[in-house]
Structure 1
């Protein structure tokens, strides 16, 4: 039989042939593992909406970090859950804040581990919004000053990367200025450049105790319907000095990841957010999907879309699975 068609299956005929023509590879080095730290001792508080995720006190953090390093994971990002909150989130920039102490401890334990600090206020404010409030409005420019103080305190504690996440206009410029003026010009900024106002954040707000007490965050986080706006946001952050760009969430925004990758020649990060994690966990616990295969396929899809680094709660599991391959 002679027909005019291509035989693509020739390149799929065995595992080794599939391997030598594989275009995208997932590595343990591609993962940044998020960790939630809390005040107190011997605290390992399970996050009910995120099976397998815990809030850890600093004494138990040591064992967690030891496991992370043993698995070959090269980076973590730290989120703090303070004991006290106030209207301006002062625990976010206190030199003895929970994140600052966690960073110091990690860097003393494993100096080579890359530690990123989430730089935001929502976990620390009693109203749950990411900035200074006046008459129910989140004020942009006064918030920048608090973010700058937070970033400097985190850099002073030993953070390798500052990761501002609150989506105020000009946050990268003000943080870059503050870091440079205080002698931290060598510290890179990993900005949440493209952060959508997403329903996928729900479980994270349980973990970080960061739900807003009134209203929502739609005046500063992006409309999920918008594509070109993402490029404007990324363009601003690159111009202001961001060294990495984050797109958040990941799964519903793979088109945005590819757009940003095509336009900007800086390392690109996907945040595989809590809702994406919890959906897979719930389905796998019910026996509806194979967790390992689903997770590795999902993470590979993010790499294929163009990311260089993935912030994911699956980091430890994925690292183990990759070792088995």
Structure 2
């Protein structure tokens, strides 16, 4: 392989599906897996940023597959709609038919249709939840069905699923109610699937990346810009891929049901909903007696992380 890295060989021999791999994070993941020795099925519909139509020109998935081959790796292409049950099933079958096995599924595909909630159309809500949340569920369902059959046949796999959540889903983001809801659902789905699939030899984790992609480079243009002085490009999507390769490899044995934030050179374990302070009356509360109790509980509980893009009430009134 060209361009040796510290994770070269980490995924040697594994067959990896990466959805939404035609650009941005997905492309970076596909190339990183190839450098680590994996054979890669590159999935991408080639649609515009908002999920509409084709972007024109040659297939983004085909271009990335060619890049994998230029690195000396093996690649195949899928243009299936992973939010359609037959498309997701065909995605898994393509990996099995082309490479004879499936070891890792990276769910990455998605797009944005940002609006404030009062302006958010039902179609925009449905479309974003479909591609992000349903587009995670269906590939997982069909991949896990294959791995369950393998386990029942006495060939328990060392399989990995890496999902893509977001800080918007974990903390909330103003103007992204549909996207935040989908990404929060992905975090919860990760916990459930990790608990259910473990018996079949499948580990499931999620990453919440911060990087420069089509979905962020316009909205957060200043924060996402590459440095002009040639220094460390903190927002390059390639910074996220080493964690995805690790979680998708044998090296991550025993790591499952967790959500990690990945940004620049930082990896953070995200600590989700946990029970904090509580009060137990031992009987039914009266509404009028809860004010003092709730305020006392809040006073001894950690403050929540701020919602992305939120301003205080006083600021909003200025």
Give the TM-score normalised by structure 1: 0.35
User: Of Structure 1 and Structure 2, which has the larger fraction of its residues in strand?
Assistant: 1
TM-score (norm 2): 0.36
